[in-house]
Amino acid sequence: MTGQIRAAIYARFSTDMQRDASIDDQIRSCREYAARQGLTVVETYSDRAVSGASLMRSGMQKLLQDGRSGLFDVVISEGLDRLSRNQADIAQIYQTLLFADVMIETVAEGAISEMHIGLKGTMNAIFLKDLAVKTHRGLKGRALAGKSAGGLTYGYSAVNKVAANGEPIRGDRTINAEEAAVVRRIFQDYAKGLSPKKIAEALNIAHIPGPQGGNWGTSTIHGNRDRGTGVLNNELYIGRQIWNRLRYVKDPQTGKRISRLNPESDWVITDVPDLRIIDDDLWKQVRQRQGSLKSKGTGVPVWNRRRPRTLFSGLMECGCCGSGFSKIQKDSFGCSAARNKGEAVCTNKRLIKQTELEARVLDALANNLMDPEAVKVFCEAYTAERNRLAATATHNRAGIEKELASTKRDHGKLVDAIIAGVPADQVKDKMIALDDRRKDLEAKLAVADNPPAQVRLHPKMSQTYRERVAALIRGLAESEGMEEAREALRGLIEKVVLVPREEGSGLTIQLHGALASLLMLATGASTHQVARMASGAQNAKSSAVAEFQDYDIIDKLVLVAGVGFEPTTFRL
């Protein structure tokens, strides 16, 4: 080669080298190589602390762009692995530069040909895979020992220790008292009914730094329950470390890492009781609330669901077309279909002010939604359905008893296996599943043994209901418990139907109550239980209806404002 040949130098170091001076060393080595070959260096390109497993590097992208523009004739690098360690990527680099009549030479291998691309690319790919396997094996060893096998979790501090040989001991943690108090606050506030958004706002107002030192966000708190992300889903807070729940792969198009959920059989679960921050009761309360927060008919979890913006958002329905009522003006609601789809779908363009709607509905809730006659009908229907299910359970008793006996035998075999020396961790999940099934079968037998049910209306039920609704309405004006009161009140309503009056310009409001929720409140259920009902789906098979289980009859009953009560009429 002659001095007229223009050369570009490329250097890179990845995080496994951890030395910024490595870039200068590589460039110096490449310049010396260029001088020996009589090449003129016209440009240098570099990427600092970037993995060679991806092409999405600024220096590499600029080199390829300039190479296509004819800025240089040859690329010099210290070694082929500096250009890339990915077999497909190194082939793409080679083909791109070859198309632009640009050669590749390295200090280690000399002029690069197709043979180098195939051989070295394969060797580099094997190196990356082997490195990943060794790293994974080392991290698994840490996880099995109860040590940190990843980043440091909020609520804990790293413990710096040194072994006898002077090497640092990695992975030990201790509870950070200040951060642990914040974790407990988050769990307690959520269990009380506060939304992740409100919790984050309160923490930011108090100037409490988040896990990365910045502000708190909603997703940081609620995360994703299935993937174990977010403060509320981290089982380390109850002394249970789960490692290898997720794996990360690089998208070949973008170079970005994408997380994927591993099979549960691949998880490494270790008990670390000394790292417990949250007690079991509080953890269960949070889990129960998370389980009930599902969007109606979709099963969408709370972290993917928009919370209602106003007290009765999502509950209002047009009496003409059945569409929802939404905010049309700053302080007024109107039929969405009439506004968005025109008169061919709905002609109801009447509006109702938010303050007026909420005042009248709350008044009706407090005074008109516990009609004794409607409750009597419910009690009779519920009694009949409960007895039908009990009769069915009795008929199936023999099969239930047979399965229960088998379940107990299988559980006993696992206990014997542990006594014989089988590690408990290998059979723990199976034992838990069998024990849960045993409890379920015993509950079914108990139902079969119960005498015919009889549900009666307590004389003071209506009075108790009115007193508790009044307390909930007062709770809307208080910061403590406001969210729970709001959800509980929504849980008492099946829907609010707004019908244009035949005369005048007003709207008639027909308030439909969710009977199961009304009875829960009237018979002493906690406000928290009633609040959970609203979060799932307005009276649609909510897990919060502990007193009524999943009997279909509950879902079919609607209590309309009582006998002799004319629906409230608003004149606008």
**pLDDT computed for residue 571 by the predictor:** 36
CATH level 3 topology of 174-298: Hect, E3 ligase catalytic domain fold (3.90.1750)
Type of residue numbered 300: V
Number of H helices, E strands in the chain: 19, 21
Neighbours of 443 (CB within 10 A): 12
Instruction: Specify the pairing of strand 168-169 against strand 161-162.
Output: antiparallel
State how far the Cα of 550 lies from the Cα of 545, in Å rounded to an integer: 8
Of the candidates 437, 440, 449, 441, which has an alpha carbon nearest to the alpha carbon of residue 390?
449
Partners of 104 in beta bridges: 75
Q: Where are the domains of the chain?
A: 6-129, 174-298, 316-374+458-570, 387-449
**Distance of alpha carbon 90 from its chain centroid, rounded?**
38
Predicted pLDDT at 539 = 36
Residue ranges of the chain whose pLDDT lies below 70:
1-3, 15-21, 49-55, 116-146, 148-151, 169, 171, 248-257, 292-308, 368-383, 385-395, 422, 424-425, 447-463, 479-481, 515-572
Q: Give the pLDDT confidence score for residue 76 in this predicted structure.
A: 95
Q: Which amino acid is at 7?
A: A
How do 40-48 and 6-13 pair as beta strands?
Answer: parallel
* Residues contacting residue 548 through CB under 8 Å, at least 6 positions apart: 382, 516, 554
| Contact of 320 with 499, CB cutoff 8 Å | yes
- Say if residues 94 and 83 touch (Cβ distance below 8 Å): no
Element (H, E) at 327: strand 325-329
Fold of 6-129: Rossmann fold (3.40.50)
Phi, psi torsion values for 112, nearest 5 degrees = -95, 130
Measured CA to CA, the distance from residue 231 to residue 237 in angstroms comes to: 9
Question: Which residue, among 15, 23, 155, 113, has the nearest Cα to 77 in the 3D structure?
Answer: 23
Helical pair 527-536 and 482-491, crossing angle rounded to 10 deg? 60
- What pTM, to 2 d.p., does this model score? 0.39
Give the 3-state secondary structure percentages of the chain, helix then strand then coil, rounded to 5.
50, 15, 35
pLDDT for 385 equals 64
What does the alpha-carbon distance between residue 280 and residue 287 come to, in Å, rounded to a whole number? 10
What is the rounded CA–CA span in Å between residue 169 and residue 163?
Answer: 6
Distances (CA, A) of 294 to 299, 305, 489: 5, 8, 17
